[in-house]
Amino acid sequence: MLTATQLAQLLNATDELSSAKAQQAETLKGVEKAIEARAQAHGYGSAIQTQLQARGLVVTVVTDKVLFGSGSAAFRPGGETLLGLIADALKAVPNPVLIDGYTDSVPIATTVYPSNLELSSARADRVAEYFITRGLAEARLFPEGLGARDPIAPNTTATGRARNRRVEIIVQSSVVDQTLQNAGLDKTPVPGTPHPATPHVHPGVDSNVTPTAAEIAPKLGAG
């Protein structure tokens, strides 16, 4: 049973959280538009998909004939150009960036990559390494290889397998229920603190300041 003080704190915290979420959504929408515009201007519009989700902005990049060759973690010609466009847009915000590598379900067994998990990990690491060369802080980047997990299309067709061979770049929402935690009403770990050991959990980076779309516009520019 909440006391009157706790109830008042909860209501105030909820209002603050709603406002922060709306502001963060506006900010990420600005990043999404910048990435889409840059990709279209350079002929990569069909190579990426963007989607705003509760967890943040998800940028899906197909790997076939865009980023990597078959069974390789070496960039194809033009792959760095596309990632550079994305990296430049990500500089406008301080949010943590998850980099998830995926493959299709066809087994791979080479001397370099004994499994799809190793291949997907190498590709995610390669993207993170390139982002660092473009000026993104290493502390913001969390690459992970997930192999054939979480398919977005059936692996029974060539088209479906091609869709599943991808890299997802997730710009995490920096809004957590910090206001509720301050009120002592939520025990969810904030980004940057240890999480319970659960599958596919990414750490984050604490950020107390969320820029507005107007504030990031000069940083996004064009090109």
What one-character-per-residue DSSP string does 165-222 give? SEEEEEEE----THHHHHTT---PPPTTS---S-TT-------S----HHHHHHHH--
CATH of the domain at 168: 3.30.1330.60
- Residue 218 within any structural domain of the chain: no
Let me know if residue 68 belongs to a domain: yes
pLDDT value of position 25: 86
pLDDT number for residue 21: 79
Q: Does 63 reside within a domain?
A: yes
| pLDDT score recorded for residue 121 | 98
Give me the sheet containing 97-102, strands edge to edge: 48-53, 56-62, 166-172, 97-102, 141-145
- How is residue 82 written in tokens? 């596309």
Buried residues in 150-185 as b, exposed as e (16+ CB within 10 A): ebeeeeeeeeebebbbbbbbbbbbbbbbbbbeebeb
pLDDT attached to residue 10: 57
pLDDT per residue as tens digits for the range 86-97: 999 999 999 999
In a domain, 4, yes or no: no
One digit per residue, the tens of pLDDT, for the chain of length 223 reads 667 666 555 555 555 566 677 888 899 999 999 999 999 999 999 999 999 998 899 999 999 889 998 899 999 988 999 999 999 999 999 999 999 999 999 999 899 999 999 999 999 999 999 999 999 999 999 999 999 999 999 999 999 999 999 999 999 987 754 444 454 544 444 443 333 333 444 444 433 344 444 444 444 444 4
Output phi, psi for 60, to 5 deg: -100, 125
**Domain hosting residue 75, numbered range:** 49-172
Residue 129 lies in a domain: yes
Task: Tell me, rounded to whole angstroms, the distance of Cα 70 from its chain centroid.
Answer: 23
Count how many domains the chain has: 1
Q: At a CB cut-off of 8 Å and minimum separation 6, what does 125 contact? A: 73, 143, 145
Q: How far apart are CA 66 and CA 69, in angstroms?
A: 8
Does residue 25 fall inside a structural domain?
A: no
Please give the pLDDT value at position 65.
84
Say if 12 falls within a structural domain: no
Structural domain includes residue 206: no
d(CA 141, CA 136): 8
pLDDT at 174: 79
